[in-house]
Structures are given as structure tokens and as C-alpha cells.
Chains A and B, each alone.
Chain A
């Protein structure tokens, strides 16, 4: 166990979103509880240089620690990590984060695909991804990687999304295990603790 009482996450929930996703997150965030084995990594598209307001905004809505993921930092359970603006966030096999300032992917940095694809290759016991509202194709390839690696794919019901394009694109490519309305998301996430 590390000095701060945290241990490496056994299970990971990846959340990806773009336009219209923040409202959904702010809605379910107050109701989620993270056990010591589960970590959440959020990859949200936004303007470069906008990061600390997002972490602050999320922190106000939850008792669970929220922080920007730092390079080489271990992926600990009980923590919500946010990908920094204008960097790609990668998950290493040894369950640490790496940052990468390479070309945009799907016009996006951070790219949801990149985080999902690298997390899919890391040795989590249980890996789940949740793709939310967005106007971009990012996320589809990532979701496919998560499924290939034996993970679970949950998606916001496009009919409830402010912008249906991103979840619908992913659904067209991969059959989802769970189609969720925003009001059902906190129960779903809390169930991942068990």
C-alpha cells in the first residue's frame, strides 16, 4: 500500500465524451461511490489550456478525489482521473499513466481512442468503458479495442444525448452491452465496485 493509503486499481472505468457530455457527468457524479479497487479515467474533449477549471468543476460535485492524470503516476483505485487538455493520455502495462503530445487523433487531443486502446492492453481484472454524447467519431475504435480485450461497453442512449453522433457511431461499429440513460448511469457505475 502506498503512503497515501491508495493501492493500484484492479478495475477501471473509462469515460469518453465530447459535446454534451459534461452535463451528463455533472448529473451522475454526486451519486457515485468508488471502492478501493475501482478507478475512473475521463477523457473529455475541450479547448486547449482549459484543464484546471474542469477538475475544479468536477470536484465540487463529489466526495471522491478528482485529479488531472500526471505522467508516470500510478492508476490508483478510488480516484477519478481526468486527461489533461491538449495531451494524449496513455495507460501503461504497469498501470501508470503516460502523456503524449503527438498529432491529434480524430481532430482531438486528448483522443478517447488512444486512452481506451492503451487501457485495453493493460492488465485490469475488469475493464469497462462508457461513451457519452459527442459530435465526433473519436471513441469508436477505442470501444472496439476494449471489447476485443474482453471488456464491457456501455453507451449513452443516443436518443438522450445532446449530440447523438459519437455514441451512435460506436454502436454502429460495436454492439453495446449496456445502453444507458443519464439517470441510470450512477447505479451502473456503482455496480462496478462489486
Chain B
């Protein structure tokens, strides 16, 4: 029974509007999640009715920015799942180190915490100088935040613990300077980062990479869309390149799975064909 303020039919109408007017296609996102996000936004912004929300989205391109930002999920952390980063350190980076030049794509980078984590790993493995980190997201505003590399000071204790658990040996605070409640990450970590907006749903492959990291993005997509995005990743990965996903995501159900081999028990696969 549909007990939400914004019903299934409303969600469908709104997502069609957004696609036709602005070209953002959310129609293949997981239904329950997108519906909840839209209901959440409806409450947050105190719309009196669905019609008013729809009117705002159709007629106010500035509001569209907020709409996209709020219906997508932008929660991320540094060194989340330390064991994942440990395997990156111990298994993946040594393999990447054999290349003269390393290209990494953070697809759906959100506010950039994982890109900075990766930059720290590369620095510590002495590979940063020959790496390029492409960080993309559908949201221009989170890409801007990622570019700034300024994160809440309150998170640093947790991130420092994650960093140590991932095998980090340094003093984590040496990577940022504290300024009241903000931590600004070192400029030297940014030198090899390239930030851009990219929509996994509609944009095509733009380079070939040895490592693609896309964590906790595919859980919001339905199976069809997941398959499309896996094809995009497959196309964008060099042979023997690595694909890294979130801790509850898998390529198991995708047709490309046969070309990949899993690394240990982490959600990291290596392309073998």
C-alpha cells in the first residue's frame, strides 16, 4: 500500500520530467531508494503538494541542482573498510607499480574522501608521481567539494583509525592542516587529481584505466542499469586492470563476470581477458 506523501506515480512523472527537460535519467534507479529520497526532499523543503514540487523542478533550473544533489546519496568516508585499502596497498598497487604510468578512475567520487585516501596510498607506495587520478560524479557541487579537499575535523579521529587499520604507518594528521572545525588536505595530494562531472547512466567511456573504483554507487541502480555500467567499466579497463566495488556490491550477476577474477575476499576484481 502506498502510504508515502509522494506516490509511485508521482515519482514516475517527476523522473520523466527531469529526463525530458534536463537529460538526467533516474528511471533505472532502485525504486524504493529514489522514492524515499524524493519524499525526504519533499519534507525537507516543505512543499505543500506534489504539484508544487513538480512546478519548482520544471521551472527552476537552480532548484534542479538541489534536486539532483539531494536525491542522489553523497555519504562517503576516508579509508572506509580498512581491509579493502589494505588489499589495495598489498596486492593492487604493487601490480600497478609495474606500469610506466598509472591511470585511476574514481567513478561516483562524491565529495572526494576516497580519492584523497587513494592519493595517500600512492604517495606511501612511491607511485604518486607517475599516477593520474580521475574523479567524477554526476553532481557538480560535490565535485567542487572534492576539488577543495576540505573535510570536517570531527571525522579525523575515525579516519585516522581507519588509516592505521589499513596499514598506514605515518601520523595521519601530517596529511592535513587543521583550521577550526575543518581539515584541509595537503595541496601535494591534489597535484595529480583531475575532477569532472560524468554521468554513469548516459556518458560514455573517456579513457582507459588500470584501476576503476566505484563504491556504493551501483547499489542504487537496478539490474539493467548495473549491467550497462559494468559494460562501461569493462570497456574503460585495460587488460589486467582492476575494478573495485563497495563491500556489498558484486559483478557476480553481470555478463562481464566471466572476464574477471576476484582478489582475495575483497570486492576487487582483475580483468583477465
- Chain A residues near B (Cβ < 8 Å): 49, 70-72, 84, 87, 90-94, 98-103, 114, 117-118, 120-121, 145, 148-150
Contact = CB atoms under 8 A, between A and B. Distances in A.
Given A101-B246, A120-B3, A145-B3, A90 B32 contact: yes
Contact of B32 (A84, A92, A148): A92
A98 B3 contact: no
Interface in B197-252: 216, 219-220, 222-223, 246, 248-249
B1 A93 contact: no
A121 B5 CA distance: 12
Contacts of A49: 81
Contact of B2 (A100, A103, A121): A121
B117 interface: no
Nearest to B215: A101
Scoring B33, B220, B249 by chain A CB atoms within 10 A of each residue's CB, the highest score goes to B33
B273 interface: no
A90 B36 CA distance: 10
A93 B73 contact: no
Contact of A121 (B4, B75, B216, B220): B4
Contacts of A117: 3, 36
Nearest to A124: B1
B147 interface: no
A98 B30 contact: yes
B248 A99 contact: yes
B30 A90 contact: yes
B190 interface: no
Contacts of A98: 30, 32-33, 219-220
B32 A71 contact: no
B223 A92 contact: no
24 contacts: A71-B248, A71-B249, A72-B253, A90-B32, A90-B36, A91-B32, A92-B30, A93-B32, A98-B32, A98-B33, A98-B219, A100-B73, A100-B219, A100-B220, A102-B73, A114-B36, A117-B3, A118-B32, A120-B1, A121-B1, A121-B2, A121-B32, A148-B1, A149-B1
Contact of B248 (A84, A114, A145, A149): A84
Contacts of B3: 117, 120-121, 145, 148-149
Contacts, number: 63
A114 B40 CA distance: 12
Q: Which 9 A-B pairs have the closest CB atoms?
A: A90-B32, A149-B1, A98-B30, A102-B73, A101-B216, A118-B32, A99-B219, A148-B3, A92-B32
A151 to B, nearest CB: 9
Given A71-B248, A149-B1, A101 B33 contact: no
A101 B1 contact: no
A172 to B, nearest CB: 20
Scoring A72, A92, A101, A149 by chain B CB atoms within 10 A of each residue's CB, the highest score goes to A101
Contacts of B249: 71
Contact of A92 (B4, B31, B37): B31
Interface string B31-49: 1110011000000000000
Contact of B33 (A70, A90, A103): A90
Contacts of B1: 120-121, 148-150
A101 B219 CA distance: 9
Given A90-B32, A98-B33, A120-B1, 10 more contacts: A72-B223, A98-B30, A100-B36, A100-B73, A102-B75, A117-B3, A118-B32, A121-B3, A121-B4, A149-B3
